[in-house]
Amino acid sequence: MIPAPFDYHRAGTLDEAIGLLARYGGDARVLAGGMSLLPTLKLRLGSFGHLVDISRIAALEYVKEEKGALRIGAGTRQATLERSEVTRKIGVLADALPLIADPLVRNRGTIGGNLANGDPSNDHPAIAIALGAELVARGPKGERSIPANRFYKDLFVTDLKADEILAELRIPLPPPRSGSAYRKLKRKTGDYAVAAVAVQLTLDSKGAVERCCIGLTNVAPTPLEAVEAQKFLVGKMPDEKTLADAARLAAKAASPSADRRGSAEYKREMVRVLCARALQAALGRART
């Protein structure tokens, strides 16, 4: 189908883009890589009077370590992240990036678009939750930082206001004895997850779990944090039974719906299996 008519604005700077969003309010949408927005428009699942293209704003494309954090500009392409030495050091990102969509989509799709879309089937939201990341938004009133686990409000609804742009993903660098991992089940290359689990854990000097964060992909209307499983693990020695019990708690947190990727029961069971595997992999990395 052909999209409904819209006015196209190419912003040269972030301030210009924010100004355009403020001028057109809810009738404007940011256009980044277009990998999710353009199909939405073409299928007429949504229509907007104005598209504000931020894809040429070079200042939004960077990956750097600074002041104890990994800072990723929202305009950074997923393919750039995949090739980055910095992101390769973070297990959960190294695991996930090659599994997202396909190389063509990763060449265009940005990390900001993936996070801001509010789609629970996207992989980066659960990863950001597991990494304890902050999402930095810029709007007419300045900058604010939102923890990833509070950013998602409902299906395709985020904490971003109509005149705000997601500018950066800020990931605290994990402390020593930390490990992270991503385990994703998908039917074929280019498909979204049936279910996926992101984990980061930190061990104390005796080998017990000091901190753990678990994010779930595509098993609820929003990306989820498996809070009970996290609480259960803290302070415990991570033996096989403990990890299996935590994985069961993570599965309980999921509220998937049945679709062509499987029944709700099947998806919940996949969360259990994937969570146990992600915890084992993260643990192995934390110990080395």
Task: Return the SS3 of 236.
Answer: coil
Are the CB atoms for 9 and 20 separated by under 8 Å? yes
Residue from 205, 203, 184 nearest 195 by CA? 184
Could you tell me which stretch among 29-37, 79-87, 227-235, 258-266 binds ligand FAD (CB under 6 A)?
29-37
Are the CB atoms for 286 and 201 separated by under 8 Å? yes
Are the CB atoms for 212 and 191 separated by under 8 Å? no
Q: Which two tokens stand for residue 68?
A: 């104890």
According to CB under 6 A, which one of 84, 117, 202, 280 is a site residue for ligand FAD?
Answer: 117
According to CB under 6 A, which one of 11, 18, 33, 279 is a site residue for ligand FAD?
Answer: 33
According to CB under 6 A, which one of 29, 170, 261, 272 is a site residue for ligand FAD?
Answer: 29
* CA triple 72-152-140, angle to 5 deg: 65
Q: For ligand FAD, give the closer residue by CB, 82 or 210.
A: 82
Q: For ligand FAD, give the closer residue by CB, 91 or 223.
A: 223
- If one asks whether residue 278 binds ligand FAD (CB under 6 A), the answer comes out as no
- If one asks whether residue 243 binds ligand FAD (CB under 6 A), the answer comes out as no
Are the CB atoms for 57 and 17 separated by under 8 Å? yes
As a whole number of angstroms, the distance between CA 195 and CA 216 comes to 7
Are the CB atoms for 249 and 228 separated by under 8 Å? yes
Residue from 206, 204, 196, 199 nearest 230 by CA? 199
Residue from 287, 264, 274 nearest 243 by CA? 274
- If one asks whether residue 110 binds ligand FAD (CB under 6 A), the answer comes out as yes
x/- contact string, 60-79, with ligand FAD (CB under 6 A)? Answer: --------------x-----
Could you tell me which stretch among 120-128, 174-182, 200-208, 274-282 binds ligand FAD (CB under 6 A)?
120-128
- If one asks whether residue 101 binds ligand FAD (CB under 6 A), the answer comes out as yes
Could you tell me which stretch among 102-110, 146-154, 199-207, 244-252 binds ligand FAD (CB under 6 A)?
102-110
Residues in contact with ligand FAD by the rule CB under 6 A? 29-37, 74, 100-101, 105, 108-110, 112-114, 116-117, 122-124, 160, 165-166, 190, 192
